[in-house]
Chains A and B, each alone.
Chain A
Amino acid sequence: MSTEARAEHFPAVDWEGGAFPYRVGHRKLGMWLFIVSDSLTFSALLIGYAYLRASNVWPTPFPFYPSIVFSSVMTFCLLSSSLTMVFGVSASSRGDKAGARKWIFATIFFGVTFIVLHLIEWNHLISEGMRPFYLPEHWVKVFTTTDGVPPSPLFGATFFTITGLHMFHVASGAVYLLVVALRVNKLKHEDIEISGLYWHFVDLVWMFVFPLIYIMSVDVGGHLAR
């Protein structure tokens, strides 16, 4: 019987010990606490980005193609990976381990596709001359204000840090899920559910990174294309 199922059988008063006040096992609670702390890491980074953006002239250089097209397809991949993951957890709850493994492999496929697309997108920007601490020369020319204030060179630093840390989370998640998929017969349902929690969290973070980093940096007037 899993920890969760056992938890349901404890009629003791919640806060007198020996009970499961949250009705979840300690590993699942641990993953939730990790998710809370990691949310704060990403929040701090995104707020740091907003701080810099509000206090500087900020370039908005992303064209529809490749940046927005790639990032939208990447969003689609991550959302779909969350759906396949939830199907995997659902299959595992019915005791269908083979089904769970199949869906987890589908999740890994979408995760790896996300990373590949993201690296191609990074490569576009790097080949254009964007670096963590300086901007391509033509971006500086286009986005310098009429008062002669140049755009902040920290655009690249915030972009590469935030998307890079997120990509690292996706990559670690893919390895984690691979281990779970290969050992699915030995693992309990709760373990598979916990790996799902981590994966959905990675998807959740992207729901903030995508609009704040990509959508807010669209070159609406096509300044760079001119």
Chain B
Amino acid sequence: MSEHAHVEEHFAGTNKLFVSIWVWLLVLTLIEIFLAYRPMPIHFMLTILLGLSIIKAALIMAYFMHLKFERLSLIITLVPALVICICLLFVFFPDSFRSAGLRYKFKETPPVAPAPAEEP
């Protein structure tokens, strides 16, 4: 084979597959926008939105970034380390909730300490 001969590179996945992934990503985005206007507790909203985002990120990584068609060793090297590092960042949250408690004023007056017992 000469140096300049045309070499077909292997690239798995058909255009039809990629269009269907794009449609799925658009549908998930529309669900997110719809949810924005549903009254619900912020914790539910955050959980659902993050869940949808993780699904979207997984679709992009698997198909558009072609990770699904790469060797398992590459996936195992990249993904778990990233996920663990991100999870470790959540270690700061107890402090966030603590400072929220410090900032707000108490509505009720704090209980008064009992008067010291009189000496006989």
Contact = CB atoms under 8 A, between A and B. Distances in A.
Interface of A: 1-2, 4-5, 14, 21-24, 29, 32-33, 36, 39-40, 43-44, 47, 50-52, 54-56, 68, 72, 75-76, 79-80, 82-83, 85-87, 89-90, 92-95, 147-149, 189-190, 193, 196-197, 200-201, 203-204, 207-208, 210-212, 215-216, 218, 220
Contacts of A33: 78
A23 B104 contact: no
B29 A208 contact: no
Nearest to B18: A86
A55 B99 contact: yes
Contacts of A4: 9-10
Interface residues of B, number: 58
Nearest to B75: A22
A87 to B, nearest CB: 6
A216 B46 contact: yes
A82 B11 contact: no
A145 to B, nearest CB: 8
Contacts of A204: 56-57, 60-61, 65
Given A93-B8, A93-B10, A204-B60, A36 B45 contact: no
A68 B103 CA distance: 31
A208 B29 CA distance: 11
Given A55-B97, A72-B29, A208-B57, A22 B7 contact: no
A197 B49 contact: no
Contacts of B82: 36, 39-40
Interface string B1-28: 0000011111101010011001001100
- Tell which of A5, A39, A79, A89 has the most Cβ of chain B within 10 Å: A79
B96 A2 contact: no
Closest 3 CB pairs of A and B: A93-B11, A211-B49, A22-B74
B45 to A, nearest CB: 7
B117 interface: no
A167 B49 CA distance: 22
Interface in B52-70: 52-53, 56-57, 60-61, 63-66, 70
Interface of B: 6-11, 13, 15, 18-19, 22, 25-26, 29, 32-33, 35-37, 39, 42, 45-46, 49-50, 52-53, 56-57, 60-61, 63-66, 70-71, 73-74, 77-78, 81-82, 85-86, 89-90, 92-93, 95-97, 99-100, 103-105, 107
Given A21-B73, A47-B89, 4 more contacts: A24-B70, A24-B71, A200-B65, A204-B65
A102 to B, nearest CB: 14
B65 A197 contact: yes
A82 to B, nearest CB: 5
B71 A22 contact: yes
Contact of B15 (A68, A87, A220): A87
Contacts of B50: 211-212
Contacts of B32: 210-211, 215
A147 B105 contact: yes
A79 B85 contact: no
Nearest to B5: A1
Contact of A51 (B6, B96, B107): B96
